[in-house]
Amino acid sequence: MDAWQPNFNWITDLLAVGGSYPSECAELLAHEHRIQAVIDLRGEAMPDTQLFRRHGITLLHLPTTDMRPVEMPDLEHGIRFANEFLDQGQRVLIHCEYGIGRSATLALCLLVHRGLAPLDALALMKKQRPVVAPSPPQFACWSAWLDSHRFSSDVDWELPSFEDFKALAYVHPKR
């Protein structure tokens, strides 16, 4: 069997976004990549919480159907969960099956919650993980979260339009 190659990218020093991985790689996530928390957004799979716990990883499962928006309570739960670890300088992996939409949606909310402007968060995500491309329903979810967040926080950015979003999200580098 070929050696497993991680399907995730570090967006910041502490936050990774990516796709799924074989469950037997939990030990590598913990020891080689020093990941202490994982948020799994796959609705199509049930992660083994005990396996992660044995390797010192805390797991949060927020099942979401592929291409669909993440539910608002799940976004808030995921942000709180990730911040608990990030605020302590611990590494967090947010993933779905392919690391394109569901995980990106939550990570975008998290980055904005932590102080980035929305389009700056998206630009950073695209730079670090070029395949990131949330679906239109996922954009609508992000936009609704942004709208809610900007009224509860002191921010100086405008809501991005879908045109601004797709100009960044749906451009893929030439090979």
Average pLDDT by consecutive 10-residue portion of the chain (175 residues)? 78 98 89 96 90 95 95 98 99 97 98 98 98 97 96 90 96 72
| Per-residue model confidence (pLDDT) at position 172 | 74
| Per-residue model confidence (pLDDT) at position 123 | 98
B/e letters for 51-60, b = 16+ CB within 10 Å, e = fewer, are ebeeeebbbb
The pairing of beta strand 8-10 with beta strand 15-18:
antiparallel
Closest CA to 166 of 120, 99, 119: 119
| Per-residue model confidence (pLDDT) at position 175 | 61
8 Å CB contact between 46 and 23: no
| Per-residue model confidence (pLDDT) at position 9 | 98
In CATH terms, the superfamily for domain 8-169 is Protein tyrosine phosphatase superfamily (3.90.190.10)
| Per-residue model confidence (pLDDT) at position 1 | 42
The pairing of beta strand 91-95 with beta strand 8-10:
unpaired
User: The tokens of 18 are what?
Assistant: 């990516």
pTM for the structure as a whole: 0.95
